[in-house]
Amino acid sequence: MKHTFILPDLKKILSDKRFWKPGQMDSKNGKKERFMSQSTVPFDDFILEKLEIKRGDVVLSLASNHGDWAKAIKEKGCIVDYTEFSKYFIDYIKKRIKFRKYLTKDFALIPEKPNRYDWSFSYEPVSGKRALPIAIMRSLLNKKGGIIMYYDEDQPGKSKDWPKLIKTIAQTYRAEFKVKSEYFEAFRHQADNFGTYKKADKKFKVFIIRTNNTAKNKVLKDLKMLKMLKINNKVCNHLDSLKRLDNLKDLFLDEFTKKVEFVSKEKK
């Protein structure tokens, strides 16, 4: 007997790449100049407390861009690995900021194994309906979980999609989550005056998902299923994984999902 599920298409997700460079970003009209930093630059003495990270925690900074938030977390006493898919950023940051490791990785592929990190963290990552749901799934492999955040000023896509993203993954894997607004001491780009900054006067939106052993085991099983499905769309076991992954389908753009047939074995 056949059943059909709509699942994330890992092959398509991983093939959709953008090679951004420092000081440059992609737009609908091609490349355009941007600030040589992230959209905000933090200088908050209580950054760890507000993010609910502890001094000494090992943090995997995802889609780290110009590295301002990863640097601030490191300077407050955490061990931080910097990751970016773009080798241009890796080369740029290596010359400017000392991190434990520099990883040229798509954040849909890390962390690879359980308990290597306390947290995955990312400030204003893109790919919200492509790779980000997989990255949040993988953050449940950590000792504590995952954190994403954005500056709560003009983020219509993130304000619409991220609450559903965190809630759906938390409910699917029986994890705890929190969404909160916090003031952080930070400088913000002035969009109408390129190259200048002002103090950030709006709150930041922070999304925290906390893991447990049950969640880790389920994520490991589902990641294995996604890897298998890169090769074959017909599967005959692990119905529980298929149901969980199907539950995530609305977190992805249709172009990054695929139909998969489940073949159940008839009882004789």
Domain end (from 171, 197, 213):
213
Decide if pLDDT at 173 tops 70. yes
For 16-20, 121-125, 180-184, which range has the lowest pLDDT when averaged over its residues?
A: 16-20
* 92-108 mean pLDDT: 94
139 and 259, same domain (yes or no): no
Judge whether 17 lies within some domain: no
Given a contact cutoff of 8 angstroms between Cβ atoms, the answer to whether 65 and 51 are in contact is no
Domain presence at residue 135: yes
Whether residues 206 and 164 fall in one domain: yes
Reported confidence tier of residue 127, pLDDT bands at 50, 70, 90: confident
Which one of 173, 196, 213 terminates a domain? Answer: 213
Q: Are residues 71 and 118 in the same domain?
A: yes
Supply the pLDDT for residue 59: 98
How confident is the model at residue 195, as a pLDDT?
Answer: 65
Pair (207, 237) in one structural domain: no
Q: Same structural domain for residues 235 and 201?
A: no
Number of Cβ atoms within 10 Å of the Cβ of 190: 12
In a domain, 30, yes or no: no
**Local confidence band at 74 (pLDDT 50, 70, 90 cut-offs):** very high
243, part of any domain: yes
Residues 196 and 103 in one domain: yes
- Residues 77 and 63 reside in one and the same domain: yes
**Domains identified in the chain, total number:** 2
How high is the pLDDT of residue 268?
A: 45
Do 166 and 248 have their domain in common?
A: no
Least confident of 4-13, 25-34, 113-122, 180-189: 25-34
Within a domain: residue 22?
Answer: no
The domain in which residue 241 lies consists of 2-9+217-263
**pLDDT, position 102:** 97
Quote the distance between the C-alpha of residue 81 and its chain's center: 14
113-124: average pLDDT? 97
Range picked from 124-128, 184-188, 208-212 for highest mean pLDDT? 208-212
Domain boundary among 213, 235, 252: 213
Confidence of residue 23 (pLDDT cuts 50, 70, 90): confident
Q: Give the chain's mean pLDDT.
A: 89
Burial class (CB in 10 A: 0-12, 13-18, 19+), 65: buried
pLDDT at 30: 53
Residue 27, in any domain of the structure: no
Does residue 21 fall inside a structural domain? no
Asked if 158 and 226 sit in the same domain, the reply is: no
Cα separation, 223 vs 251, in Å, equals 16
Longest CA span, the chain: 74
Q: Give the CATH number of the domain where residue 122 resides.
A: 3.40.50.150
Identity (one letter) of the amino acid at 197?
Answer: Y
Q: Judge if 97 and 226 occupy the same domain.
A: no
